[in-house]
Amino acid sequence: MSGSRLATQNRNVTSSLLIVIVNYRTASLVADCLASLQPEVEALQSARVVVVDGGSGDGSTEQLTQVIDERDYSAWVELLTLPENRGFAAGNNAAIRRALHSRDRPEYIYMLNPDTVVRPGALTALLAFMNAHEAAGIAGSRCENPDSSPRQSAFRFPTILGELESEAALGVVSRVLTHSQIAMPVSSTPHRADWVCGAAMIVRTNVFDRIGLLDDEYFLYYEETDFSLRAARAGFECWYVPESRIIHFCGQSSGITGAAAKRNRVPRYWYASRQHYYEKHHGPVYAMLADAAWLVGSVSRRCRWTLLHRHSDDPPQQLQDFLRFSAQRWMTS
């Protein structure tokens, strides 16, 4: 983005913005994120940041307090400490709930992961888009790798056919089920999406007024999908805005996605979040069929890779864990 264009946008963007960053034992990443936000916040003059620490207990609060003091961030950064780690949704809700009832209630709330670095102009571009598109209740930034290559950041809602397509990873299946693919193709222009990556997602505060906060029952993952579906049902549009760019060091805190996922097992809360999403919005029968579609796709892909002598890059014991969690869930339901 050229300097003149950015300057023009800065003059036009006056909306108040609250940025919420939830930390759990990632204080050094939060410090880097705040450093990238500083020029953006100063340019906007109407933005502030709340860092929510979810009971890290590892010295994070002391480290972040020192960063805020030594770098003179106190005018625009506040540290909110919680007694325990209740997950991404609950951490964001703690800051959002307070903001919605405050005297200086913001027009927008931007939920930002701690393992991100904001590119120059990212906030200005996102606010300019939201101000120009009144029907948009939610929008997401373009998430990038450190080398500037794009990550998939816009998605369709998960479905039975989408589960089959994503796990089968077979060209002919994907071509037939193009419109069921959960991850949408990376685009260089803004477009509608069902949901966007929760690592960098902006929401109008009146969306919270209409549909409520994030669902605390999600510890991590699927909370943004759930929220976006509820917003869509209430008539709000969701958009992907590639002019707003961030670097996302994906999976640094969870180890589920990104390179770290090759070393770590998928934790139980991912399976629980996925199950909660399907049961909440589609019912138990649909959830069971979605499990079956995932298993058919996964087993067929694994058999194909075995025949082709290809190495699997799946997280360790993923199939066994999926079967175990699904069996336990259905036996107790």
Q: Where are the domains of the chain?
A: 3-151+186-254, 160-179+265-333
- State the alpha helices, DSSP H only, in the chain: 3-12, 27-44, 60-70, 88-100, 122-132, 160-168, 171-176, 205-211, 223-233, 268-282, 284-307, 318-332
- For 50-95, the pLDDT digits (tens) are 999 999 999 999 999 999 999 999 999 999 999 999 999 999 999 9
Residue 10 has pLDDT above 50, yes or no: no
What pLDDT score was predicted for residue 5? 44
- Bridge partner residues of 246 (DSSP): 118, 143
Of the candidate ranges 96-100, 105-109, 113-117, 305-309, the one whose mean pLDDT is the lowest: 305-309
pLDDT of residue 315: 93
**Class of domain 3-151+186-254 (CATH, top level):** alpha beta
Model confidence at 252, pLDDT cuts 50, 70, 90, reads low
For 105-160, how does the pLDDT look when each residue is reduced to its tens digit (9 = 90+)? 999 999 999 999 999 999 999 999 999 999 999 999 999 999 999 999 999 999 99
Taking a C-beta distance cutoff of 8 angstroms, is the pair 202, 109 a contact?
yes
Mean pLDDT (the chain, rounded): 92
Residue pair 38/122 in contact by the 8 Å Cβ criterion: no
The reported pTM is: 0.92
